[in-house]
Amino acid sequence: MSKALIVIDVQNDFCPGGALAVSDGDAVVPVINAMMEDFDTVLYTQDWHPENHLSFADNHPGAEPFSTTVLPYGTQVLWPAHCVQGTDGAAFHKDLRLMGDLVIRKGFRPEIDSYSAFFENDQTTRTGLAGYLRDRGITELTFAGLATDFCVAWSALDAVKEGFSATVRMDACRAIDLDGSLDAAVANLKSAGVTLA
């Protein structure tokens, strides 16, 4: 019971045809579904943004999607509006097995983005996931989902910082790869001691 699979943001807007589609994003679904049999605990994260979220380029007049701005917690990529609360884009992919124990919704505060399953991007506001895992006696985490270089990587890095063992199943992830972000994420994961499987 000490191992958990954490499925990151396998939502319609990150899959082909979505507002922030990750190339080949839906290919992770059958891989993740098959992995679930190997874990007693399966958890999910779900991007859950209000329409006025500050990470949306639309909410910064004149800003282009994928440009950056500086917010009180640091540099923020301005994304196309995505995973808006209650929309079909925010829903999990229809073929993803929903047999898990918990869904962590993140990015619901309008003024701050949240890539990691553990912290919002200020790196101080917690989601509560670490406490939940500790209370359950879970120490070994495997991450899969979307996108490798943002929410998956940030989650795995924070898992290690919080004292958990972390593995990223690269075959069960896909990346945005924005200006070399995938190579940078892989280097950061390796240097932090995350296992890439």
Residue with tokens 């929410």: 151
- Tokens 């994420």, residue? 185
Query: Which of 15, 47, 83, 106 is the catalytic position?
Result: 106
Helix (H, G, I), strand (E, B) or coil at 65: coil
Q: Which pair of tokens denotes residue 28?
A: 């992770």
29 CB neighbour count, 10 Å cutoff: 20
What residue has token string 């923020």? 76
For the record, the structure tokens of 74 come out as: 């640091």
Cβ–Cβ under 8 Å, residues 95 and 83: no
Catalytic residue among 15, 83, 151, 173: 151
Is 106 a catalytic site residue?
A: yes
**Phi and psi, residue 57, nearest 5°:** -55, -35
- Token pair 């500790």 in the structure block, residue: 134
Q: Please give the Cα distance from 147 to 129 (Å, whole number).
A: 19
Select which of 9, 13, 47, 149 is catalytic.
Answer: 9
Distance CA 104, CA 43 (A): 8
User: Is 15 annotated as catalytic?
Assistant: no
Largest interatomic CA distance in the chain: 50
Could you confirm whether 9 is annotated as catalytic? yes
Distance CA(50)–CA(173), nearest Å, equals 26
- Would you please indicate which residues are annotated as catalytic (active-site) residues? 9, 106, 151
